[in-house]
Amino acid sequence: MKIMAANSNLPLARAIAAYLEMPLVDAGVRRFADEEIFVEIHENVRGEDVFVVQSTSYPANDNLMELLICIDALRRASAKRITAVVPYFGYARQDRKPGPRTPISAKLVANLITEAGASRVLAVDLHAAQIQGFFDIPTDNLYAAPVMAADIQARYGDEDLMVVSPDVGGVVRARALAKRLDNAPLAIVDKRRDRPGESEVMNIIGDVKGRHCIMIDDIVDSGGTLCNAAEALLAQGAASVAAYISHGVLSGGAVARINKSALKELVITDTIRPTDDVLDSDRVRILTIAPLVGEAVRRIADESSVSSLFD
């Protein structure tokens, strides 16, 4: 078994390799002068079970292309099995047609990864679990919830907690986290979004008065959803609001918005390599999912159970 990294999240790839006590495959993922991507694998991978770690985060198209070209290079080098380890699966929010004459880009990306030659996929907190069905190859979807729950217990375990889903679509995820937190009560923010990229909080379903609220979601992008929801929860009498989010996309001025927000803290994982803004923020904290992904990789290689990681 071998671990190879493209460029989007080298610190995470190195941490996964360290967990597995093995070096990364000796390979170069470089750019030609015109920005074309060139991959060269400097060691034999014939007959190997290779895991390529690459989040398709910003710049999404470049990082996706790197992943596809790495897979192609491995396939042509006769790797026995190639697993695309995509901790953050970009384009996942385009998982259905929101209107007539629009694409389902998540499906297109799944097709591209499969056609490039991947034998399996390993992702973390896919935006919608059904995206697994976009692949006709085995796809494991890991959950950051156990890592988050351990941190919440350590930080907020003595408080009167309430788990909050910042939108109706995230209720299943929030309920799963609440279950891990000794069946903490659940509230839901009924968010209405009139235009893409804008968010508006309408209603809080549940009594949050005096509660320490833990919002959970898969993605924080502009930060609008979280900042608006935090204000709405505090207006309803919540004692404090923190957010635990799997993927810190944090585009544009998101970190500045979070820094000025009513959120006590934003906790993200390292599925996406944090920018300097994120690292400099005293309002954002990062949990690593390297041991979780590393353990899943080990189990896939050993052909043992991955789901039992979440029992």
Quick check: 243 and 259 in contact, CB under 8 A?
no
Q: Is the Cβ–Cβ distance between 30 and 61 less than 8 Å? A: no
Instruction: Sketch the per residue contact string, 143 through 172, with ligand R5P: x for CB under 6 A, - otherwise.
Output: -----------------------xx-xx--
125 in contact with ligand R5P (CB under 6 A): no
Residue 220 touches ligand R5P, criterion: CB under 6 A: yes
Only segment of 63-71, 217-225, 258-266, 284-292 that touches ligand R5P (CB under 6 A): 217-225
DSSP state of 26: -
Smallest gap from residue 169 Cβ to ligand R5P (A): 5
Nearer to ligand R5P, 72 or 277 (CB): 277
**In whole angstroms, what is the distance from residue 269 CA to residue 288 CA?**
5
**In the complex, least distance from residue 261 CB atom to ligand R5P, rounded to whole angstroms:** 11
Kindly tell me which residue out of 221, 241, 269, 296 binds ligand R5P, with binding defined by CB under 6 A. Answer: 221
Q: Does 218 bind ligand R5P (CB under 6 A)?
A: yes
- Sign of torsion, CA 270 148 130 14? positive
Q: How far is the CB of 231 from ligand R5P (least distance, A)?
A: 13
Report the site for ligand R5P in 177-206 (rule: CB under 6 A).
199
Helix (H) or strand (E) holding 84, with range, is strand 81-86
From candidates 92, 219, 272, 278, binder to ligand R5P by CB under 6 A: 219
The one-character DSSP state at 263 is -
- Residue among 262 and 306 whose Cβ is closer to ligand R5P: 262
Instruction: Report the interhelical angle of 105-116 vs 60-76 (nearest 10°).
Output: 20
Residue 51 to residue 297: CA distance in whole angstroms? 8
Q: How far is CA 209 from the centre of its chain?
A: 31
Q: Which amino acid is present at 183?
A: N
- Catalytic residue (one of 179, 191, 260, 264): 191
Q: How far is the CB of 67 from ligand R5P (least distance, A)?
A: 21
CB of 246 to ligand R5P, least distance (A): 10
Joined tokens for residue 188: 């839901």
Beta strands in 47-142 (DSSP E): 49-53, 81-86, 120-124, 139-142
Please say if 191 is a catalytic residue: yes
Number of residues that bind ligand R5P (CB under 6 A): 14
Q: Give the residue from 266, 166, 160 showing the smallest Cα distance to 211.
A: 160
Q: Which amino acid is at 62?
A: D
Interacting residues with ligand R5P (CB under 6 A):
166-167, 169-170, 199, 217-225
User: Catalytic residue numbers?
Assistant: 191
